Amino acid sequence: MTNTNRINLTDNRIKALAPDPTGKRRPELRDAIVPGLIVVAGKNGRKTFALHGRFPGSPNPTRRRIGEVGAVSIEQARETARDWLLLVKRGVDPAIEKAAREQESRKAREAASLADERLFKNAAETYIARKVTRQRQADYVTRIIRNVLIKAWGDKPVTEITRRDVVKLVEEIADRPAPVYSSACFGVARTMFGWFVDRGTYGLETNVCASIRINSLLGEVKKRGKRVLTDDELAAFWKATRRLGYPWQPLFRLLLLTGTRRSEAAEANWNEFAGDKTLWAIPPDRFKSDTTHNVPLSEDSQAILGSLPRFRRGNYLFSHSFGETPPQKFAHAKEKLDDLMLRYLRAMARLRGEDPTRAALAAWVIHDLRRTVRTRMSSLGIDYVVAELCIGHTLKGLHATYDQYTYAKEMRAAFDLWARELRRIVWREQPASNVVPLRAGEAK
């Protein structure tokens, strides 16, 4: 039978309480200090504090669990038992009271957790983890979020960030002066607040940035580029790149032949090329439209690939670290390229009998190579859709919905035609059909 003797509970006595080996009963100890406080040994060896007695609404004596021995000390169990006995005197069942307190505590924890989740710094980190990490410019966007936006609004709830807060931040950055960076920060903030609204967990109903017109606020901070390299500049470019050496010579030339973006070419790795090196598949994580961009390679592009070294340490095509990392210092390489191009332009002027000192190279950026390729394709009569696909633009409207043809053959023909045109420009004559393609080290 169950031991009903009341004793002064101690840790040693509780430790000595053993479960019934037959499992037919649950041995227990009754406390001599607090009436009704017991320790019960279960079948699995676990021991539990409980209060035994008659409770409001229960016709027979029963138990109310206080907690497991170890998790609850003897003094804590006695204190809880005393509180529960007072509740019983007032006609309250401790189990109901305990459940109510646990629910209240749970609600408080949930409210605190929700408030913490809605702090801008935490919501922003969730946005980075769920959305930004898959973007092509993930590192750049993450730096703006952490170094600018979280720094400004980190401890504010998302719902308390106002239109004025956004305008103030944008204007402060623009006044450094850094208007282009200010516009970029605003773009990141606008996209992020839109995601907050879509997610629906931050109590935000509208995008605080939606009604702000950044060009009206700051003026037109970034003009549309219109620079297209001339024939003389393209010839000078090709000849000048020969003096740059690896990795800049083949990298710049591949950019001009394929019309790809700077990062797409600079970060290319060998896994992206088919076995015969006739097709370059730029994966979604490196391409702007989150799709694979297939670039058919002309013979001249293939020749560039064939001239590249292969490294054991890493897999990047272009690298200063044996393939482990892509090249980074574009500004220095571009400055040297501009200087060399100007020299070649002056040499061309001298050969034409013109004053070489009057030759000039208008300012241009690497992205202008991409615009030059697209413009030249139009001048060659290449179909609009094919030319757009060649440089990786996404088709719009009905074309995107109904035309699922890949245009692979047409794109290959377009790149081949552009490569032939570039040879003509560099050589200044139409090459005969038996002339080999312009290789990476030619056109001195």
Dihedral angle computed from the Cα positions of residues 337, 341, 342 and 348, in that order, rounded to the nearest 10 degrees: 170
245: left (phi over 0), alpha (psi -120 to 50) or beta: left
pLDDT at 402 over 70: no
Question: For 71-99, how does the pLDDT look when each residue is reduced to its tens digit (9 = 90+)?
Answer: 999 999 999 999 989 988 888 888 787 77
Q: What pLDDT is recorded for position 264?
A: 93
In CATH, what number does 231-427 get?
1.10.443.10
Q: Mean pLDDT throughout 266-270?
A: 94
pLDDT of residue 56: 86
Selection from 63, 69, 67, 62 nearest residue 12 by Cα: 69
pLDDT at residue 440, rounded to an integer: 41
pLDDT digits (tens, 9 = 90+) for 294-307: 999 999 999 999 99
Does the 120-218 domain belong in CATH 3.40.718.10? no
**Token pair belonging to 104:** 């209240």
Q: What does the alpha-carbon distance between residue 365 and residue 337 come to, in Å, rounded to a whole number? A: 11
- Quote the mean pLDDT of the chain: 88
Position 94 scores a pLDDT of: 81
- Give the integer Cα–Cα distance in Å for 415 and 259: 9
What is the model's pTM? 0.58
Percent of the chain at pLDDT exceeding 70: 91
Output b/e per residue, 103-119; b: 16+ Cβ within 10 A: eeeeeeeeeeeeeeebb
What was the pLDDT predicted at 33?
93
| 419 sits in which H/E element | helix 408-427
| Range ranked top by mean pLDDT from 57-71, 109-123, 278-292, 310-324 | 310-324
Say what the pLDDT of residue 399 is: 67
> pLDDT tens digits, residue range 231-264?
999 999 999 999 999 999 999 999 999 999 999 9
Instruction: Please write the tens of the pLDDT for every residue from 315-331.
Output: 999 999 999 999 988 88
CATH 3.40.50.620 given to domain 6-111: no
Residue that the structure tokens 């103030």 belong to: 168
Using DSSP's 3-state secondary structure scheme, residue 66 falls into: strand
Highest mean pLDDT out of 49-58, 107-116, 315-324: 315-324
Q: Are 414 and 215 in contact (CB under 8 A)?
A: no
Q: Where are the domains of the chain?
A: 6-111, 120-218, 231-427
Q: For the residues 202-218, what does the mean pLDDT come to?
A: 88
Distance CA 426, CA 92 (A): 96
256 against 405, higher pLDDT: 256
**pLDDT the model gives residue 224:** 67
